[in-house]
Chains A and B, each alone.
Chain A
């Protein structure tokens, strides 16, 4: 669970702890017989990027939409920026004044231009940001006169972000913000999200992409079947930092595994010419192997050392929850060195 201590109260936290932006306790949501959310606790601190991961059907959207005020919880309670969700009309309006929402697939008025839409949505807020500033932030200045209905998918997504930012929110919900982006557009979106963090915004992100969670997330929680099953920083999730690393390389044809020197390792295998060494001491092991290879003048092919990726951990955690294979992530192994 995400709860880290009993003493946490909004605004009054231990030295160095930032105030709480989102706090949910025992959140439940049932749709008839289906228990979609079964008691979720979440604490998100101000200025933090919090990533909620999980396969489709795990209950992510239900949790996010309860926090956004779109759905009512069947049980438990949640406060967002200190305001109870699902409260009075005045309270929810105050909340929407301070929260920006980027939904997964939500249309806009197609016959209005980009600049008109940003201006229009800005008017709903007491203190909107200037239109030009918002357009610059999402790099849509060149499209300001274009009708929303004529934008490409990536431009539409950036317009979504612009409309969520125009009210200068303290907290932003991003539901799969880069789904359908090409790699360059994803990098752009990431840098836009990073720049929001630098402005001190709190970000609640759901995503399918592990590299996105790795790159953007301060903290990651994994949902499965309505519960949070793991939580931590992207580097620590599921004990990732304590897992053995993998050293991989190929041997010349005339050599076998026996020729490779003994190095500190948990396991060594040879599979179709590929040597795989699991080790908790990757630096020392790699040093010995490369030293041996240099000394003998042996060419080791495709040499790499990798820590288990966030995706490896994620797949392990969500295994058996087979609604959708999580393999749509484009994660490349994180190489320590090559």
Chain B
């Protein structure tokens, strides 16, 4: 029994450490002015640019949904991906190059606790950008947020965050250094956004491209958010197909992440 109590109090202490570490990660994140700015400026800038291109249009191939109702959740999906996958992969690659990961490994902080804190910190940034994009959408682009659809929105964001944070860490196995990190990350993200219902509807694209997009997690995140925000839907508006794909990617991401974390840092270099 006493062993059991000890393990539990050990876990409680470790969870406390995660909470503290999230605070330090947050402080670090927002103190870097460039990073804080990019987090908010980029998605809002894209929102303004794309919305001004075609604001009054309605999309026939998507049942006549207005372009704004399509665009705002799409930009939200893009913002989630940059604040989780892109941000985590690039910043962790830098931390690895700078030796910070090695230093952290030399401390009693368990590796899982450090990673959990970095993911938790990303999730907070994701929540902040979500609030900003949704508020901007409601105020300037007539976005309607239905209360019944809130669970579907939250589930989409959580599954998306789970998939894109774990993938952000897991991809580091294939990223040699911090210089190549942005290249490799954007090699995946940029082309996919063009076929994933982020900037413009992609329903009229060739079937092959649509199938590719549906297999990767970007389009499912955008689609499930667009589905939940669609003012013509009633009720809970869960897009189960997309959510299932996100869940699969969250599992794949977790698998890749654990494999990356299991490998000792720098054991293969003399």
Is A292 part of the contact surface with B, judged by Cβ < 8 Å? no
User: Who on chain B is nearest to A125 by CB?
Assistant: B108
Chain B's interface size range is 20 to 34
Of A62, A71, A93, which one neighbours B108 at CB under 8 angstroms?
A: A93
Chain A's interface size range is 20 to 34
Q: Mark B243-270, 1 if CB is under 8 A from A, else 0.
A: 0000000000000000000001111111
Q: Are A101 and B100 in contact (CB under 8 A)?
A: no
Is A176 part of the contact surface with B, judged by Cβ < 8 Å? no
Question: With a CB–CB cut-off of 8 A, which chain A residues contact B102?
Answer: 70, 103, 106
Residue with the greatest number of chain B CB neighbours at <10 A, chosen from A62, A68, A121, A125: A121
Nearest-Cβ distance from residue B98 to partner chain A, whole angstroms: 3
Is B95 part of the contact surface with A, judged by Cβ < 8 Å? yes
Cα-based distance from A96 to B111 in the complex (angstroms): 12
Nearest-Cβ distance from residue B60 to partner chain A, whole angstroms: 49
Is A31 part of the contact surface with B, judged by Cβ < 8 Å? yes
Q: Are B28 and A123 in contact (CB under 8 A)?
A: no
Q: Are A121 and B107 in contact (CB under 8 A)?
A: yes
Do A111 and B28 form a contact, CB below 8 Å, given A71-B266, A105-B99, A106-B100?
yes
Of B28, B29, B108, B268, which one neighbours A96 at CB under 8 angstroms?
A: B108
Q: Mark A194-207, 1 if CB is under 8 A from B, else 0.
A: 00000000000000
Q: Mark B204-248, 1 if CB is under 8 A from A, else 0.
A: 000000000000000000000000000000000000000000000
Nearest-Cβ distance from residue A238 to partner chain B, whole angstroms: 27
Is A163 part of the contact surface with B, judged by Cβ < 8 Å? yes
Cα-based distance from A125 to B106 in the complex (angstroms): 12
Is A116 part of the contact surface with B, judged by Cβ < 8 Å? yes
Nearest-Cβ distance from residue B111 to partner chain A, whole angstroms: 9
Tell me which residues from 90 to 148 in chain A have a Cβ below 8 Å from any Cβ of chain B.
93, 96-97, 101, 103, 105-109, 111-112, 116, 120-121, 123-126, 147
Residue with the greatest number of chain A CB neighbours at <10 A, chosen from B31, B110, B264, B270: B270
Question: With a CB–CB cut-off of 8 A, which chain B residues contact A112?
Answer: 24, 27-28, 31
Question: With a CB–CB cut-off of 8 A, which chain B residues contact A31?
Answer: 268-270
Residue with the greatest number of chain B CB neighbours at <10 A, chosen from A34, A36, A96, A107: A107
User: Who on chain B is nearest to A68 by CB?
Assistant: B106
Q: Are A106 and B28 in contact (CB under 8 A)?
A: no
Q: Are A116 and B270 in contact (CB under 8 A)?
A: no
User: Who on chain B is nearest to A119 by CB?
Assistant: B24
Tell me which residues from 27 to 52 in chain A have a Cβ below 8 Å from any Cβ of chain B.
31, 34, 36
Residue with the greatest number of chain B CB neighbours at <10 A, chosen from A31, A34, A71: A71
Nearest-Cβ distance from residue B96 to partner chain A, whole angstroms: 10
Question: With a CB–CB cut-off of 8 A, which chain B residues contact A72?
Answer: 264, 267
Q: Are A103 and B106 in contact (CB under 8 A)?
A: yes
Q: Are B108 and A124 in contact (CB under 8 A)?
A: yes
Residue with the greatest number of chain B CB neighbours at <10 A, chosen from A31, A34, A124: A124
Of B21, B27, B28, B264, which one neighbours A71 at CB under 8 angstroms?
A: B264
Question: With a CB–CB cut-off of 8 A, which chain A residues contact B29?
Answer: 111
Nearest-Cβ distance from residue A85 to partner chain B, whole angstroms: 12
Q: Are B270 and A36 in contact (CB under 8 A)?
A: yes
Do A108 and B107 form a contact, CB below 8 Å, given A34-B270, A116-B24, A123-B17?
no
Is B61 part of the contact surface with A, judged by Cβ < 8 Å? no
Question: With a CB–CB cut-off of 8 A, which chain B residues contact A71?
Answer: 264, 266-267
Do A70 and B24 form a contact, CB below 8 Å, given A111-B32, A123-B17?
no
Cα-based distance from A34 to B99 in the complex (angstroms): 24
Question: With a CB–CB cut-off of 8 A, which chain B residues contact A120?
Answer: 20-21, 24
Cα-based distance from A302 to B218 in the complex (angstroms): 79
Cα-based distance from A316 to B71 in the complex (angstroms): 74
Of B95, B99, B108, B109, which one neighbours A103 at CB under 8 angstroms?
A: B99
Is A232 part of the contact surface with B, judged by Cβ < 8 Å? no
Is A167 part of the contact surface with B, judged by Cβ < 8 Å? yes
Question: With a CB–CB cut-off of 8 A, which chain B residues contact A106?
Answer: 98-100, 102-103
Is B105 part of the contact surface with A, judged by Cβ < 8 Å? yes
Cα-based distance from A124 to B31 in the complex (angstroms): 22
Question: With a CB–CB cut-off of 8 A, which chain A residues contact B99?
Answer: 103, 105-107
Cα-based distance from A73 to B52 in the complex (angstroms): 62
Q: Mark A49-78, 1 if CB is under 8 A from B, else 0.
A: 000000000000010010011111000000
User: Who on chain A is nearest to B96 by CB?
Assistant: A107
User: Who on chain B is nearest to A149 by CB?
Assistant: B32
Question: With a CB–CB cut-off of 8 A, which chain A residues contact B27?
Answer: 111-112, 116
User: Who on chain A is nearest to B99 by CB?
Assistant: A106
Of B21, B28, B32, B267, which one neighbours A70 at CB under 8 angstroms?
A: B267
Nearest-Cβ distance from residue A142 to partner chain B, whole angstroms: 21
Question: With a CB–CB cut-off of 8 A, which chain A residues contact B95?
Answer: 107, 109
Nearest-Cβ distance from residue A83 to partner chain B, whole angstroms: 13
Question: With a CB–CB cut-off of 8 A, which chain A residues contact B270?
Answer: 31, 34, 36, 62
Q: Mark B76-108, 1 if CB is under 8 A from A, else 0.
A: 000000000000000000010011101101111
Cα-based distance from A72 to B265 in the complex (angstroms): 11
Q: Are B106 and A93 in contact (CB under 8 A)?
A: no
Q: Give 7 closest A-B pairs by Cβ, nearest first.
A: A107-B98, A106-B99, A124-B109, A101-B106, A111-B31, A106-B103, A124-B107
14 further contact pairs, Cβ within 8 A, besides A70-B105, A93-B110, A108-B100: A31-B268, A70-B106, A70-B266, A71-B266, A72-B264, A96-B107, A105-B99, A106-B103, A112-B24, A112-B31, A120-B20, A126-B108, A167-B107, A167-B108
A-B contact pairs, 22 of them (CB 8 A): A31-B268, A62-B270, A65-B266, A70-B264, A71-B266, A96-B106, A96-B108, A101-B103, A105-B99, A106-B98, A106-B99, A106-B102, A106-B103, A107-B95, A107-B99, A108-B103, A111-B29, A112-B31, A116-B27, A120-B24, A123-B20, A167-B107
